[in-house]
Amino acid sequence: MANPILQFHGAAGSVTGSCFFLETGGTRILIDCGMFQGSKSEKELNYKSFPFEPSRIDAVLLTHAHIDHSGLLPKLAKAGYGGPIFATPATIDLCTIMLQDSGHIQESEVRQLNRRNRRRARETVEPIYTADDARSMLPQFIAVEYGEWRETVGGVRFRCWNAGHLMGSASIEVETPGADAATRILFSGDVGASNKLFEILPRAPSGVDYLICESTYGDREREEYALKVRRDRLRDVVASSNSPGGVLLIPSFAVERTQEVLTDLVALMDEGEVPRCPIMIDSPLASRATEAFKKHAADLGHGGKAFLRALNAPNVRFTETAEQSKALDLVRGFHIIIAASGMCEAGRIRHRLKNWLWRPECTVLFVGFQAAGTLGRILQEGATDVRIQGEEIHVCARMATLDAYSGHADASELDAWVAGREPIRKAIFLVHGEEHAREAMSARLQKQVSAKVVCPSLDDAYELAPAGARLIEDRTPARIRPVVPGRPDWNNDYQRFVLDLSDCLKSVADEKGRAVVLRKLRRALDPDDVPAAEGRRNGNVNHGS
């Protein structure tokens, strides 16, 4: 029997796009099918064809509902996959909400883009999938409970372990049959942090042959955040933000992070730690996800009751319609707005940022990981000017970060989790992390474990042989790699250049000086055709042939 082949079609050198293709004895299984987020070039991979034939997949195993793990499932079904998608019941409930919302966002953004494209005489585009596409694939979900062995096809079986990352999240243990012995492979999914309000500590088996492990925070340690410490830090941010006519904007993932932050805010107000003020949840997805959390409140650990109390607080309001969202711009007095998306890449938070970033009475609080190239990361790193939906905005708002809410284990927690999987007989593959995070974690693990540590690149394929993992040089599909994943791209440079050019022109005293700057720029762009370029600027364009 041939050895299993494992290919890394996402989250390899970057944090997003989780997608692993496992082939063994003619059986083809996909673990996760997530959407790429981050730089514009990286997100373009979402529009390209899959580097495998969807109709030939036998089963999909889903670790959890976050869009960077589940977000391309409707595209997969649309491209011909009609088989089962195995996930925990809570993950299915969340995906039912999140995937339709993802389709709706794509439709909305494509409508806006196509309006601009038509005005510019450019080709129109289609969304990756629609809300209807997402709805049509929901019957493919099959619920599995933690600890329950399930068989797919070809003798391949799997079971889920609570990963402690998100409601319903799982690490997935896969066994593939072999001539002499089965091969045991563990996909970590996202490993949860300690002291999470809604989750238990992550669990997983030991003694596997291969471990595919996330490394999002593989290079950093967070402070030890017990519940009181975390709430004290949040209290300090609210207190320093509380100014007349001011706002605390919290970009937040709509699922679980929003519910955690809301629970802590209401608890602080109930205890008199911060003044009671309006709290607006400006996200239809968060509203629907909150209903799923209410359904599974009994599974949320010690935080479930506190969460239900927060939902009934009189100062908490959820916005549903676009009109209700726009009305938030008219709110007077200090207030708090929690809005998606968590990395400021889409959704209503961008409208809130457009309205508030230029005002010094605004504080933006980041409570989650910001991927390289995202607007959230750019703001977090101290940008003084940004462009949002084509508009240039000077940043006067204060930026704050509180990573106590991260759903990911930090470096020492990841090390401890890996140690708990020992003995790992063959190899550890580090995924779901930016390059510096993977390199730091790899360097530590190589001193701590006997297994080989591998950092695969996008689309790499490995044979999982009895002697260990072997890179298959000729197996990598010819997929265009526009950028190194997990890094800013040319579009980030272009946005920065436009802002720098604007600043430069504003600093020049007169029109003649500005003309000189533009002439030098044209000469740099087209040194052999400066007169023609100036002719185009003045409207002297020959439309004949």
In this predicted model, what pLDDT tens digit does every residue of 8-39 receive, in sequence order? 999 998 899 999 999 998 999 999 999 998 77
Phi/psi region, residue 147 (left: phi>0; alpha: psi -120 to 50; beta: rest), is: left
Domain co-membership, 200 together with 334? no
Question: What value does the mean pLDDT take over residues 476-487?
Answer: 52
Give the domain CATH number at 102: 3.60.15.10
The DSSP 8-state label assigned to residue 146 in this structure reads: B
* Residue 208 φ/ψ, nearest 5 degrees: -90, 165
Q: What is the mean pLDDT of the chain?
A: 89
CA distance 356 to 236: 21
The answer to whether residue 545 sits within a structural domain is no
CA distance 94 to 253: 13
| Strand-pair partners of 469 | 464
Domain co-membership, 67 together with 168? yes
Q: Total domain count for the chain?
A: 3
Residue 527's pLDDT band (boundaries 50, 70, 90)? low
Domain co-membership, 303 together with 177? no
Task: Name residue 3's amino acid.
Answer: N
| Strand-pair partners of 394 | 385
Domain co-membership, 245 together with 268? yes
Domain co-membership, 325 together with 447? no
Which candidate, 15, 22, 47, places its Cα nearest to that of 482? 47
Domain co-membership, 265 together with 317? yes
CA distance 320 to 304: 24
| Strand-pair partners of 212 | 187, 429
- Rounded to 10 degrees, the C-alpha dihedral 247/250/251/256 comes to -150
| Strand-pair partners of 386 | 393
Domain co-membership, 433 together with 395? no
* Residue 234 φ/ψ, nearest 5 degrees: -65, -40
The DSSP 8-state label assigned to residue 277 in this structure reads: -
**Tokens of residue 135, six digits:** 């709805």
The helix or strand, by DSSP H or E, that contains position 69, with its residue range, turns out to be helix 67-70
Residue pair 462/456 in contact by the 8 Å Cβ criterion? yes
**Tokens of residue 465, six digits:** 């042989």
Residue 278's pLDDT band (boundaries 50, 70, 90)? very high
* Residue 385 φ/ψ, nearest 5 degrees: -145, 140
- pLDDT tens for 93-152 read 999 999 999 999 899 888 988 888 888 889 998 999 999 999 999 999 999 999 999 999
pLDDT at 542: 37
Domain co-membership, 195 together with 341? no
Which candidate, 72, 129, 65, 128, places its Cα nearest to that of 97? 65
- pLDDT tens for 413-453 read 999 999 999 999 999 999 999 999 999 999 999 999 999 99
Angle at 521 between CA 520 and CA 522, to 5 degrees: 90
CA distance 479 to 47: 12
Sign of torsion over alpha carbons 292, 298, 300, 302: positive
Range of the structural domain that residue 384 is part of: 227-405
The answer to whether residue 480 sits within a structural domain is no
